[in-house]
Each structure stands twice: as C-alpha cells, then as structure tokens.
Amino acid sequence: MNSPKKDHKYIFVIGGVMSGVGKGIATASIGKILESRGYKINPIKIDPYLNIDAGTMNPTEHGEVFVLNSGLETDQDMGNYERFMGRNLTNHDYMTSGMVYKAVIDKERALYYKGKCVEALPHITEEIISRIEKSAQVNKSDISIIEIGGTIGDFQNALFIEAARMMKMKHPQNILTIVVSYLPVPSKIGEMKTKPTQNAVRQLNSHGLQADLIIARSEMALDRKRKEKLSVWCNVSADHIISAPDIESIYEVPINFEKDNIGDLILKALSMKLGHKNGEMKEWARFVSKVKTAKASVKIAVVGKYFDTGDFVLSDAYISVIEALKFSSYHLNRKPEISWINAKHFEKDKSKLKILKDYDCVLVPGGFGETGIEGKINAIRFARENKIPYFGLCYGMQLAVIEYARNVLGIKDAHTAEINPKGKHLLIDVMPEQKELIEKGKYGGSMRLGAYKAVLKQGTIARRAYGTAEVSERHRHRYEVNPEYIARLEEAGLIFSGRSPDGRLMEIAELSKKEHPFFLGTQFHPEFQAGPLAPHKLFTEFLKAAIARKK
C-alpha cells in the first residue's frame, strides 16, 4: 500500500484553451511559493504520450530531454521544477501514459488481476493514483503539485483528469484544481476575450471537476471587468482568478503570483496554516532584480545544429544550457547575449569563422549525429587558436578532443565511432562492455545516463572552479574518450582534469591557463544542475574568462 502522510494535499494543474502558455512554470512557481511557507512540496509531471520516457523524442520537435540523477530521461518541465525548487527530483515524480500502460500490461501478464477483464477504467486510473500516492509517500511531502500535460478536452489526458476526479471524490478536502488558461487579445478586436477560458472551464466541469483557481495567462494583465465575467461563467470567485501577464523573465512569475496572494488562497482553500514567508523568497527576488538591472552584456556564440527550423525551436532544445548561461551571467552582473550559429556555416567556407572574433566566448552544446560536425570542429579550432574562451558540453568535449588530435597531434583522420565506426583512429569510441549491447541492437542499454562521480586533478581550472576534489554530474551519451590515446593527448598538452573514480573514463578535458584563457570540455552535462540561486561553477568560470577577454 502506498500511504502518504495523513491529510496529504494534492493540487492538480490542468491547461485550458491551448498548450505552451506556461503551465510548467506556473506549477514550478506555485511549488516555490508553497515551499517558502515552510511546506515540503513535491511536483509531479504527467506526460500523456505513449513513449515510456522522453529519451527517444526529437528535441527539435519536443524540446530538450532533461535527465534526472537516476538517469531517467524526462520532459524539460522537470528541469524547470528542479531549477525553481532547487532540488533533485526522482523517478517517482514523472509519469507518461506509456509507463502507466506498460505497468498495467506487465501486471496483467503476471496474472496480477486474477482473471479479471483489465480495462482503462478502473485499472489505468488505479495505476495513476497509486503512482501519485507513491510519489507523495517517497518524498514525505505535505503537498503534491501534479501537472497534467496537454489541455482539457484532449483524448490523451482524459484518464489522468478522471484519476484526479476520483481522488477528489474520495477526499474532497485534500484536492485542489487549478486551471492555467489563455485569454487572447485578437489584434483586430483589441479586447481581451474570456470565452475560450469559459468553455475550457465548463469542459472540465463535464469531467466532474470544478476549477478552484484560474491562472489567466495573457499578453496583458486582466482587468476587474474580465475577472468578474470569468467569475460568473466559470463559477470561481473573482479573487481566485490570478492575472498572469507576459513578463520578461520566467523567474519573476512566483513574485507576480504572490502579488495576487496565490499562496494564501491555496493554503486557505486546503485548510492549511498560511506559514511565514522565509528568506529564500528574498534571495529569489534579489536574483530577479539582477536579471532586470544587468546592463553590460556578455556575448556568447553557441555553435550547434538544431537551429534551422525557426527561432522558437532552438531555445527549447537547449533550454538548460540557456538557463545555466543566464544564472552565471546574472551572477556576474551581466546580461547574456546568446547568438545561435548553425555549425554548417563553418563547413565549406572557413573565412566565415572570423565572425567568432566578435564574441566573448564560444560554446558547443551536446548533440548527436553527423550534421554540422565538421563545422563544429572548425569552430573549436578557431577558438583554441585565437584564444577565445571555449566551453564544450558532451559532444562539444568529444569534438574538442578530436580537434586536438587532428591539429595538434597530427592524426588527420581522428574521429568518433558514432560517425565513422570503421575509422582507423577512433579518439572517441564505445567501451568494450558497450560493444556487445550495440551488436545486439540494444542501443538504449548502451547509453551512460544520470549521475556519475568524477575525481578532479589538483591545480587545474576544473578543480579550482569547483573547489572540491570530487563532483557528481549528469550524463547522457554513448561514446567515451578512447583510453588508448590518453597518454599521447596528455603529452601534447591536453589535460584530463576530471576522471571517473576508477580512472577509466575521461570526464573533463582542458588546456592549462598558460596555453589558453579557458578551453574546457565536459563529458557530462553540467547545465542540468545549474539553478538561479546556485549558478554552476564551470559556467561561471567560463563567463569570467569571457568577460576578461571583453576587457
């Protein structure tokens, strides 16, 4: 039996009208606010798709794949939760329809249902509820905030909404429903329209649930008149309608919500003590004020691949990298100016590389496959030779090693097994234990996923930046630096400043400060552990070097 604390509270966050209006940020912000009142909160993300996890999904279409410490590959909203709440989430805090269905089908095969006919209702909903309760129990939390992906009216999330209704029916005093909706302001009409939200809230009624609170997302703030109109038609009192206009920084959302007293409203509705706002909200506000006041900028060139499908796509595919850059740069009182440069530009015409001189630093993020890889290698070489601070994340580290082997060691055909598996000089390769899995077609099983420890070498940039001898960072890759080449690379000046505790796997490669102001790559993804109140030390070190170059 999964038994959470007695009187554990559950807040369901459901979207109305359309997706992409900030349900995840609203969920994370509510979590932040309630936590600042002294409660232990656990956010849960529900994704209605049938994939078992987000690992197989294309980031160009679906956004970044966020990796937890455990190695679970999840939706990018989990990253927002972690960044807002400042802590690590677990496998219990994420679920997809695929996971739920698979668990039920596996149970059916194991005769768990003892000859019963297994059906969506009640077996799927039971499984959903049991997972929600398990998460509350494991987290020993007071309140769970459950974000149901998609919007009201979708077929895909209907069973999750049904599960919420069943929970409400059993413990009406412990369940709260929040609808995050959108109010368009059509340019031809020039007036904010409430009808789509009215319809969404009524549609939720047809599922047997009543909205307790509405978060009204729009271009502009909601006026009294519209609050009253929504109140009447949606059966929600006007002061339970929170105005959530577009703002410059998502980190301002919790502060904005509190202007409408959302914390008090939620806690009162759940019959909980209001608690005192603790110091962390003040620290948060200080961060937001830095975001608003930073004047001087730092110019960052991100050279990668997923940039050809329109502006909005790329920012989602690299959201953790962008946020990590923001945290460190605001920490240094600088506004980050990020330019997305398609690596393909640097493939045919090397004279184009000159534009990199206009930037304070260059970053190559994680990636897979062949597209743009030679352009990235050319950009890395240019940054190395011209002493422009360079930071490589995962693929960006592997390609820096290849670049160094080709142009410093003179191994012209140095490559990675990912692109050229039959190549003679595979600087980046699979480890022997992975080969077997790959030969059997088990690609999934051959990835290194989640948190692994790294031991840092004395006197290096990495060691100084972290200030500790050992770190734990998250991974998501298949290939590793080939141990056969390490001695040669080190003799030629590349320092492996981070290694796995057994010394076999290279975690960080860098050049000494004498050679280059900052040339460093990590096999892991440091961006997954950066937060507004805890900027990542390597990102900060990188941007310090960038600012020094500017001067």
Three-state DSSP class for residue 443: coil
Judged by CB under 6 A, which stretch of 125-133, 328-336, 394-402, 465-473 contacts ligand GLN?
394-402
Neighbour count for residue 380 (Cβ, 10 Å): 27
CA 271 to chain CA centroid, Å, is 33
Instruction: Supply the DSSP symbol for 155.
Output: S
φ, ψ of residue 430 to 5 degrees: the values are: -85, 150
Q: By C-beta, is 415 or 476 nearer to ligand GLN?
A: 476
User: 127, 527, 536, 541: which is the annotated catalytic residue?
Assistant: 527
Report whether 364 contacts 393 (CB < 8 A).
Answer: yes
Residue 146, H or E segment = strand 143-151
Mark whether 234 is an active-site residue: no
Give, as ranges, the residues between 405 and 424 that touch ligand GLN (CB under 6 A): 418
Three-state DSSP class for residue 361: strand
SS (H, E, C) 171-229: CHHHEEEEEEEECCCCCCCCCCCCHHHHHHHHHHHHCCCCCCEEEEEECCCCCHHHHHH
Q: Work out whether 376 is an interface residue with ligand GLN (CB under 6 A).
A: no
Q: By C-beta, is 331 or 474 nearer to ligand GLN?
A: 474
Q: By C-beta, is 183 or 394 nearer to ligand GLN?
A: 394
Q: Work out whether 478 is an interface residue with ligand GLN (CB under 6 A).
A: yes
Measured from the CB of residue 475, what is the shortest distance to ligand GLN in angstroms?
Answer: 8
User: 92, 525, 536, 541: which is the annotated catalytic residue?
Assistant: 525
Q: Work out whether 394 is an interface residue with ligand GLN (CB under 6 A).
A: yes
Amino acid at 108: E
Task: State both tokens at 189.
Answer: 């009409």
Q: Which residue has the tokens 């919500």?
A: 257
CA-to-CA distance for 536 and 519, rounded, in angstroms?
17
- Which x/- pattern, by CB under 6 A, does the window 436-475 give for ligand GLN? ----------------------------------------
Among residues 15, 22, 79, 366, which is the contact residue for ligand GLN, using CB under 6 A? 366
Q: Which residue has the tokens 């057994």?
A: 502
Q: What radius of gyration, in Å, describes the C-alpha atoms of the chain?
A: 25
Q: By C-beta, is 112 or 368 nearer to ligand GLN?
A: 368
In DSSP terms, 286 is beta-bridged to none
Dihedral angle computed from the Cα positions of residues 319, 324, 330 and 335, in that order, rounded to the nearest 10 degrees: -50
Q: By C-beta, is 252 or 418 nearer to ligand GLN?
A: 418
Among residues 66, 479, 485, 524, which is the contact residue for ligand GLN, using CB under 6 A? 479
Judged by CB under 6 A, which stretch of 158-166, 222-230, 333-341, 364-372 contacts ligand GLN?
364-372
CA-to-CA distance for 494 and 432, rounded, in angstroms?
24
- Which x/- pattern, by CB under 6 A, does the window 307-346 give for ligand GLN? ----------------------------------------
Measured from the CB of residue 62, what is the shortest distance to ligand GLN in angstroms?
Answer: 16
Measured from the CB of residue 534, what is the shortest distance to ligand GLN in angstroms?
Answer: 22
Q: By C-beta, is 8 or 477 nearer to ligand GLN?
A: 477
Q: Work out whether 368 is an interface residue with ligand GLN (CB under 6 A).
A: yes
User: 394, 425, 475, 480: which is the annotated catalytic residue?
Assistant: 394
Report whether 416 contacts 427 (CB < 8 A).
Answer: yes
Instruction: Supply the DSSP symbol for 468.
Output: S
Q: Work out whether 476 is an interface residue with ligand GLN (CB under 6 A).
A: yes
In DSSP terms, 508 is beta-bridged to 498, 522
Q: By C-beta, is 142 or 418 nearer to ligand GLN?
A: 418
Mark whether 394 is an active-site residue: yes
Judged by CB under 6 A, which stretch of 37-45, 146-154, 272-280, 390-398 contacts ligand GLN?
390-398
Measured from the CB of residue 369, what is the shortest distance to ligand GLN in angstroms?
Answer: 7
Report whether 519 contacts 546 (CB < 8 A).
Answer: no
Sign of the alpha-carbon torsion through 527, 532, 533, 539 = positive
Mark whether 240 is an active-site residue: no
Size of the site for ligand GLN (CB under 6 A): 11
Measured from the CB of residue 477, what is the shortest distance to ligand GLN in angstroms?
Answer: 3
Phi-psi region of 257 (alpha: psi -120 to 50; beta: other; left: phi over 0): alpha
Q: Work out whether 429 is an interface residue with ligand GLN (CB under 6 A).
A: no
Q: By C-beta, is 123 or 448 nearer to ligand GLN?
A: 448
Q: By C-beta, is 211 or 414 nearer to ligand GLN?
A: 414
Among residues 257, 287, 318, 395, which is the contact residue for ligand GLN, using CB under 6 A? 395
Q: 276: which residues sit within 8 A by CB, 6+ positions away?
A: 37, 38
Q: Work out whether 304 is an interface residue with ligand GLN (CB under 6 A).
A: no
Q: By C-beta, is 62 or 202 nearer to ligand GLN?
A: 62
Q: Work out whether 37 is an interface residue with ligand GLN (CB under 6 A).
A: no
Measured from the CB of residue 397, what is the shortest distance to ligand GLN in angstroms?
Answer: 8
Q: Work out whether 263 is an interface residue with ligand GLN (CB under 6 A).
A: no
* Closest among 326, 192, 320 to 248, alpha carbons compared: 326
Task: State both tokens at 549.
Answer: 């170059």
CA-to-CA distance for 502 and 7, rounded, in angstroms?
47
Judged by CB under 6 A, which stretch of 55-63, 166-174, 230-238, 391-399 contacts ligand GLN?
391-399
Dihedral angle computed from the Cα positions of residues 341, 345, 349 and 352, in that order, rounded to the nearest 10 degrees: -20
The catalytic residues are: 394, 525, 527
Rule CB under 6 A: which residues touch ligand GLN? 366-368, 394-395, 398, 418, 476-479
